[in-house]
Structure 1
Amino acid sequence: MVRILLLIIYALASATLGCLAGMVQGLSTGITAGAIVFLFMTQIHGAISRRREVKAHKKDIVGLKRASAAFAKAISETQARVDDVTKTMEARTSAQNKKIVSELQVLESLMKEFTHRISEKAKHEAGGRRAGPQADLAHVGEPEMLEMIRASLEENRVDLYLQPTVSLPQRKVRFYEALSRLRAENGSVIMPAQYIKIAAPAGLMSVVDNLLLFRCVQIVRRMMTRNRSIGVFCNISGDTLRDAEFFPQFLDYMQHNRDLGGQMVFEFSQEAVLKAGREGEANLKRLNSLGFALSMDNIKTLALDFGKLRQMGFSYIKVRADMLTKGMGAAGAAVAAEDFKNLLARHGLDLIAERVEDEKTVLQLLDYAVDFAQGYLFGEPRAVRGEMISAAEKPAASVIPLRKSA
């Protein structure tokens, strides 16, 4: 609109000057003069407009350069901050890894010390005899079995097995129970029922538990990188609980691994807890005070002080499925099976039904509102390969199925 008004003004001015020139010099001269004036004025106006546009463009360019410089500075500062954060995280990770390696080395050296100290006793009791590579474990005598156990521990032939515990009715894996198995020189698997009754009197159970703990810590740390919602139950024997030399070192080790408190649950048999005594109960409370939940299994009687168990730090009670379905009275339970879960819940305890083998049992457990179950129906124990435990850089551990014992 302004441009049109200016052109009109230029035209009027040119016409006025042309008329004046025409009156003096004639019509043709006036028209020529008016046209020249009009062209001259438009050219001046165009030059002024272009100069203004050039100034505006220069100003925009200067603004863009300033913005670009500010943006480059912001990128540089951000990159510097990212580098600082990366260096900090790398330093923390390196320090944590060094701490873990140091602790594991301490634990491994402790295991070797135990093995060396006790192996002399085992050698003396075994009379220096070794079982043949094709030995039938069902017919191996105690001296030979003790020597096989000693050799398995010295040569690190201790395998870690994991069996899932699932939630009901979803059957989603919530926990794994860590179990230990020994291997004889010929590859025969020595089950806990076979080695515990011989290893315990010889003082070897602390060594077995030591190795199991060593592997559990490694497995839990690997699982934490993928899924922090799944926990691992780690079995500890009554002999270890009462071991005045080992258990304080065990507590000290777990003190340095308190970050695993939400993922590790330590499991003790009912017999071990009942025979723990004041010192053993104090050890359980100290372990729980570090943030680790406790579980009781191998239940023989349900005539228990559940409030006291909770005060000691227990959070889980594992009861055989057949005891829940048809053995509550014989086990001395104060309530019927359908009320047992609520009784435990009032004391802050969770019920886990173990040795679940068929679907019929699952239906009965659902009638009793049982939240967790474990057994061959949901998954048999599987052995984690030893080399896979230490290969922390690989995504997952390979497993091989464990054959059911006859």
Structure 2
Amino acid sequence: MESERVLIVEDEKIIALDLQRRLERFGYTVCDSAAEGEEAVRKARDHRPDIILMDIMLAGAVDGIEAAKTIKRELQIPVIFLTAYADERTLERAKEAEPFGYILKPFKERELYTTIDIALYKHKVDKSLKKQERLFSAILHSVNDGIVATGIDMEILFLNPIAAKMCGWTEDDARGRSAQSVLSLVDSRSLVPVVPDTLPGGGHPMFFRDVMMKSRHGQTFIVDGSITKIHQIENETEGYVFAFRDISELKRMSETIDYQASHDGLTGLSNREEFALKLSELIDELKRNGGRHTLIELDIDRFKVVNDTCGAMAGDELLRQVANVIQSLTQRRDFSARLGGDEFAVILRDCTLEDSLHVAKRLQDAVQNHKFIWQKSLFPITLSIGVVPLSEGDQDIHAVLAAADDACYIAKEEGGNRISVFQRSEEKYVQRRGQMEWIGRINEALERNMFRLWFQPIEPLNPEAGHHAKAEILIRMQGDDGSIISPGSFIPSAERYGLMPMIDRWVLDNSVKTWRRLKDEGHPIIDRLFTVNLSGPTLLDETFVEYVDLVFKRYEGSPASFCFEITETAAIQNLSYASNFMGRLKDKGFTFSLDDFGSGFSSFNYLKNLPVDYLKIDGSIVQNIDESLVNYTMVDSINSMGHVLGLKTVGEYAKNMAIVDRLRRIGVDYAQGYALAEPKPLP
């Protein structure tokens, strides 16, 4: 190991040589010597010795003390003073250079060796501490947290750059000031200062959350942080370290996410999930404390007219305006929400039924008097409102919401612009309950595969024309006792509550699956064209065409063997959608039949825009053509126009052979009815 290198600064050569001899005997290397202060500084720069022995009194303009101060400032090399003087004034001056020791002349070898050895060790320790200090300083200056150190008196000793930036104080300006004045930490709710005059005892940090920090310049932050004691000898507290992190943006993001999770993005009202939570809390409160509260549900009458006529932007604007009316007429203690679509709800707290009816009437009148104008067109807007008084007996949020739905539905069924109060025992609500029970049975039938496929033949009236015999696929529900339930019992509820698309998919899947089985068995029914009914909502389902592809690929079905049947009303109400929908499926090889023609709009103009293949004349007209000349003439006219348009015609409800004969005489292509065949299970 290399020996430590020493620079001797002594203006008396004899003493310098004596020192060199002694040091070399101790094992040190004397790298050089100097006799003047300026020379000492220069040689220290050149040689960078490990330690310098410096005489205080030197010849020249710069004495040993000044030279030592320069060397410490520039080179950080430890200096031991050599002096024959020990007066107070000299020692006071010498302290300014922060020497690592003093050796009085004449030297004693043991003292000389010990002083140098201790000085070198101390310098080594100092270098290590300063290295650690630089490391810690770099860490404190690079972390994203604010760090503040104080003494035991809570006066600032240190701020890192993040803390300085957040507090608005420079480290120099803050040093010596109280932590309370510089940090300005207060609880964001109570506004009570977080930094007390004295901190509690114990060795654990004191944590704080969601605390407001106000900077010197008035800027406000939300911070999380801690206050930790600095312990030194005998576990005594020497000071405190404050660590804090700016969570303002995180807080804003969290609040935004919470808001978005609980509010409707279009209207700013609470959403259905938040509403359900508040209603559930209110029901629990009613059970504990009683009270009088009311739930009202509001539905915009003829909203679909605005949305379909003017587009989604107009519909959205109408929803926003109605939401604003609701907010303006309800109190702060009440709770308003958009449940979805054009449905809104309000919880009226501490409100009797009589008062709630007044509120409902004000809302109804305000919306009716509100002028909704879109692109210079004025649309009359009204509300159907259902009112449900809440009581201690309400046990289930779902039952309460169902009651509100019932009341609102009854108001709309009675013509709209009505207020209906839910009365469990009234006949119309009992009937409504029955419809709701069918919803459960329909869902159960879908889950348990309790639907059954039936069919009714559609026969060509002129076999010589080569018309293809058909079979209309029908649906039945099988009860738990094995009984067969006709569609008239459950289809109205399915239509009213939006379950038809699921039923349509079940029918299509099972029809194609059955067709594949019958084809593999060589059953003669396969020679017939299978006609599958589709509901109006399915025409609006943008995923249904892809579903058709999936089903026919799964069972290797033939599109040419299937015809989709839609009603005239469904087609006209969604004309553009229906035309696009039918076109996409016809491109795949399917045919289409328009059902119930003559029952609705009965305009031949729109037929030119619908790619149908078969025109099914409404049974209410057909079933009396053997008795009514008017009906006979209507069927004749529809049949003639259908043929002009290149369509094949079907007469349904052919209940006797007299009707069949007249259909044949008119020239109708197909007949369907009990006179030819009753519906029966599909094999």
TM-score by length of structure 1 reads 0.54
Letter in 1 for 2:546: Q
Q: Is the 8 A contact 2:564 2:590 kept in 1?
A: yes
Map 1:288-307; keep pairs closer than 5 Å. 288-301=586-599, 304-306=602-604
The Cα shift of 1:368 comes to: 0.4
Letter in 2 for 1:247: F
The Cα shift of 1:305 comes to: 4.6
The Cα shift of 1:263 comes to: 0.9
- Distance, in Å, in 2 between the alignment partners of 1:303 and 1:176 is 27
The Cα shift of 1:223 comes to: 4.6
Q: Which residue of 646, 649, 672 maps to 1:374? A: 672
- Distance, in Å, in 2 between the alignment partners of 1:144 and 1:205 is 16
- Corresponding position of 2:469: 174
1:282 aligns with 2:580: yes
Map 1:151-190; keep pairs closer than 5 Å. 151-168=444-461, 174-190=469-485
- Corresponding position of 1:247: 544
Letter in 1 for 2:572: L
- Corresponding position of 1:143: 436
Per-residue CA distance 1:63-97 (angstroms, 9 max, x = gap): xxxxxxxxxxxxxxxxxxxxxxxxxxxxxxxxxxx
Of 224-233 and 274-283, deviating more is 224-233
The alpha-carbon distance between structure 1 residues 198 and 242, as it changes in their structure 2 partners (threshold 3 A), is: same
Letter in 2 for 1:158: F
Q: Which residue of 342, 346, 364 maps to 2:662? A: 364
- Distance, in Å, in 2 between the alignment partners of 1:359 and 1:275 is 35
- For the residue of structure 2 that corresponds to 1:376, the secondary structure is coil
- Corresponding position of 1:347: 645
Which structure features the higher share of strand residues? 2
Q: Is the 8 A contact 1:318 1:353 kept in 2?
A: yes
Letter in 2 for 1:253: L
- Distance, in Å, in 1 between the alignment partners of 2:461 and 2:568 is 24
Which structure features the higher share of helix residues? 1
Per-residue CA distance 1:118-175 (angstroms, 9 max, x = gap): xxx99x859xxxxxxxxxxx99812222222221111110100011011115599811
Q: Is the 8 A contact 1:160 1:383 kept in 2?
A: yes
- Distance, in Å, in 1 between the alignment partners of 2:459 and 2:639 is 16
RCO higher in structure (CA 8 A, sep ≥6): 1
1:208 aligns with 2:503: yes
Letter in 1 for 2:558: L
RMSD in angstroms over aligned alpha carbons?
3.6
The alpha-carbon distance between structure 1 residues 173 and 375, as it changes in their structure 2 partners (threshold 3 A), is: farther
The alpha-carbon distance between structure 1 residues 144 and 220, as it changes in their structure 2 partners (threshold 3 A), is: same
- Distance, in Å, in 1 between the alignment partners of 2:563 and 2:629 is 26
Corresponding residue pairs, total: 252
Map 1:6-405; keep pairs closer than 5 Å. 141-168=434-461, 174-224=469-519, 226=522, 229-244=527-542, 246-253=543-550, 256=553, 260-301=558-599, 304-306=602-604, 308-309=606-607, 311-320=609-618, 323-324=621-622, 325=625, 336-384=634-682, 397=683
- Distance, in Å, in 2 between the alignment partners of 1:264 and 1:278 is 23
The alpha-carbon distance between structure 1 residues 365 and 313, as it changes in their structure 2 partners (threshold 3 A), is: same
The alpha-carbon distance between structure 1 residues 151 and 303, as it changes in their structure 2 partners (threshold 3 A), is: closer
- Distance, in Å, in 1 between the alignment partners of 2:508 and 2:444 is 19
Q: Is the 8 A contact 1:241 1:280 kept in 2?
A: yes
Per-residue CA distance 1:217-252 (angstroms, 9 max, x = gap): 1233345454564211011111222234x4243244
The alpha-carbon distance between structure 1 residues 314 and 151, as it changes in their structure 2 partners (threshold 3 A), is: same
The Cα shift of 1:265 comes to: 0.2
Per-residue CA distance 1:341-397 (angstroms, 9 max, x = gap): 23211211110111111111122112201221011111111113xxxxxxxxxxxx3
The Cα shift of 1:189 comes to: 3.0
- For the residue of structure 2 that corresponds to 1:159, the secondary structure is strand
- Distance, in Å, in 2 between the alignment partners of 1:145 and 1:286 is 34
- Distance, in Å, in 2 between the alignment partners of 1:262 and 1:327 is 38
Letter in 1 for 2:672: Q
- Distance, in Å, in 2 between the alignment partners of 1:247 and 1:286 is 11
TM-score by length of structure 2 reads 0.33
Which consecutive residues of structure 2, in runs of 5 or more, have no partner in the other structure?
1-397, 404-430
Letter in 2 for 1:165: I
Identity among equivalent positions (%) equals 25
The alpha-carbon distance between structure 1 residues 310 and 188, as it changes in their structure 2 partners (threshold 3 A), is: farther
The Cα shift of 1:214 comes to: 1.0
The alpha-carbon distance between structure 1 residues 249 and 202, as it changes in their structure 2 partners (threshold 3 A), is: farther
